[in-house]
Amino acid sequence: MALRDSLFPIAVLIDDLKNEDANSRLNAVKRIDQIAIALGPKRTRDEFVPFLCECVDDDDEILIEMVQKLGKFVDLVGGPNYAPILLHPLRLLACADSKLVRDEAVASALRIGARLSDKEFAASFVPMVLLLIKGEWYNHRTSGVGMAHLVFRRCTIAAQRAELLEAIQHLVQDPLPMVRRTVADCLTRIVEELSGSEVVSLCKLVYTPLGEDSQDSVRAVTIISTPYILVAINKLIMNHNEADISMNALQALKDETYKRFINGIYADESWRVRHSCADVLVNVLEGYIGYTSVFERQLAKPVILGEQDCTESIDPLIDGKPDQTEVLKEQAQKIAQAKPAASAGSAYDELAVVKLFAKLLSDEEPEVRCIAVQRCVRVASRIDANNISQFMIPVLADRAVNDIVVFVRAALARNVVGLAQFLGKDDSINHLKPIVVKLLEDRDPEVRVTTLLNLPIIIEVTTVQPFSSHIMPAITLLADDNDWRIRKSVVQAMPGIARNLGTAFFDEHLSALCMNWLSDSVNYIRRAAVRNLVQLAGAFGQDWVVRVILPKINQLKTNPNYLHRINALFFIQELSGVCTPELICQHLLPIMVRMTNDAVPNVRFMAAETIGKCAGYVPAQYRDTQMKPCLLNLKSDSDIDVKNFAANALKLLQ
């Protein structure tokens, strides 16, 4: 009786998997792992997995949930020895109409395939992949190709590897572009797992035909695989004693692959292909001169559908990226530490590469220009500084003046400053400064503010002096912009600029602007202005806080608008982290205590919260004699929110 009662909820869940209501089915699918645990491994294998195979015709959301759960079912069916039974429902789901479902099914199948023994992998996983690749429908073939790299990684049976490679070669002639494009996309993963002779075969029978495909979308995706092929060849050259092909053949293949890429940029009329070439040019260059890894490329992705694909963000609010200065530094350090491990190709000509890149920078399509500008720092890291000055800088200067597309100029504002690290101080002043100044004067506020945000990168090399006369007009113009996002970005740019300008310049020219932002009509700006000034307080010191910041806090605390009084308390919260205990006790604590008696409840509970957050920065005697009595008094306040905030703050004092 007890056993029957315990299985009753499981029976309900199983019934819900066939329920007419989609929500009931979704909730049941989310708990199929609980069903499997209750049934045990044997019944799960014998009864539940076959039952799930009958549930593969459902809504996409339900199938995606099922696929994700099945990928974690290995232990629930008894371990890796029994895992092949899970491949059947996953194969069915890998043939679904929805690409989202298919992609999840492929991911789960790969997860399970990685846990199979070599024997089970060869007996179950490889035949499934071959069955899919040779399938009648395109969705079967694309899913099979997506699993091929794991077969080449794990399978050691020559006949199976040859059969799979032949099947992939056959797909090069597939009548559907989406299948050929999938093959091109998977080259980056497949080539890493091949032997020398297999790489030669892949390049000759797959990479080369796809690079000449009639569909530009296929060619564009194929181009992306070029650096991965070069890196794979470099690794084979380094391990030539273990290779099944001669060194000369590998070097010849490396030269041929590089030349095909370079010639493709000149010859192809499709902007999608040129976009892909600009995207991976530096990776191809690195692969050809002997690097054995493909460094990560930021921001861009292949263009295959015709939509605008420049991902340069010109809205600083939604940008979501880390501080650009730190990103560039980390990238530069990573690149500097890496050295070529293999020999460079015999056809390398730096001058030709620079001229080619300059051509991409001035391409007729804005998306191509944008991605080329985004890659200019990476390309510059691999070429001589004289070539940067002679060939790249003139084109970038022309783009700053004449490019009519905002997102291209925004990309230029974000990236051109990074060239300073390669040019040095004098050349940066002579060649980069005119470009940066032009961008500071750009007609579009987003471009101007992007330039301001990234100005500290070049200032680190040149010092601030060359730009001091140009910064103030740009800041003044943007500080009162009607778009609050622009104002917010100017606020964010201020600490980096102010630290380079120094205390005296800031006090004379920028202090009034920063203080005005504390009374901005938008709360986001007010809070950003507080954090801005707190950063400066950490840089300029305690005396500066007493002389500049405290008078403004005292002004805000008596402002008729209660929102500004609240901002004074927020200011104290943030400022306490960079101030000495003596300064807090002498100047900030009396303000907090006094504001607990404010007429507006919102100010009182903000004062209570501020006292609680600042308690850790003051000595115990101040917590006991000044903070605690105020909070105890607020616990009997007439407003319920004030009481709650006071109670929470008291806990922080203990």
Q: What interhelical angle do 138-154 and 126-133 show, nearest 10?
A: 150
User: Residue 239 CB: number of other CB atoms within 10 A?
Assistant: 10
Whose structure tokens read 């490329």? Answer: 297
Q: pLDDT at position 9, please?
A: 59
Q: pLDDT at position 466, please?
A: 82
- At 99-134, the pLDDT tens digits run 999 999 999 999 999 999 989 999 999 999 999 999
> For 580-585, what is the mean pLDDT?
91
Q: Are 233 and 199 in contact (CB under 8 A)?
A: yes
- 242 vs 152, residue with greater confidence: 152
* CB neighbour list of residue 326: distance below 8 Å, 6 or more residues apart: none
Q: Judging by beta carbons within 10 Å of its beta carbon (0-12, 13-18, 19+), is residue 296 exposed, middle or buried? A: exposed
In the predicted model, is pLDDT for residue 23 greater than 90? no
Q: How far is CA 467 from CA 43, 221, 419, in A?
A: 74, 42, 16
User: Mind listing the domains of the chain with CATH numbers?
Assistant: 541-654 (1.25.10.10)
Give me the DSSP letters along 144-183.
Answer: HHHHHHHHHHH---HHHHHHHHHHHHHHTT-S-HHHHHHH
Q: How far is CA 247 from CA 91, 240, 242, 469, in A?
A: 41, 7, 11, 59
Q: Is the dihedral of CA 398, 352, 271, 225 positive or negative?
A: negative
User: What dihedral do alpha carbons 158, 164, 168, 173 form, nearest 10°?
Assistant: 100
> For 164-176, what is the mean pLDDT?
91
Q: pLDDT at position 141, please?
A: 92
Q: Give the whole-angstrom CA distance, residue 23 versus residue 26.
A: 5
pLDDT band at 336 (very low <50, low <70, confident <90, very high): low
Q: Give the whole-angstrom CA distance, residue 22 versus residue 386.
A: 65
Q: pLDDT at position 263, please?
A: 82
Q: pLDDT at position 570, please?
A: 92
Q: Give the whole-angstrom CA distance, residue 176 versus residue 404.
A: 38
In the predicted model, is pLDDT for residue 606 greater than 80? yes
Percent of the chain whose predicted confidence (pLDDT) is above 90: 37
Q: What is the maximal distance between C-alpha atoms in the chain?
A: 89
Q: Give the whole-angstrom CA distance, residue 64 versus residue 212.
A: 36
Residues, the chain: 654
Q: pLDDT at position 317, please?
A: 34
Q: Give the whole-angstrom CA distance, residue 437 versus residue 444.
A: 14
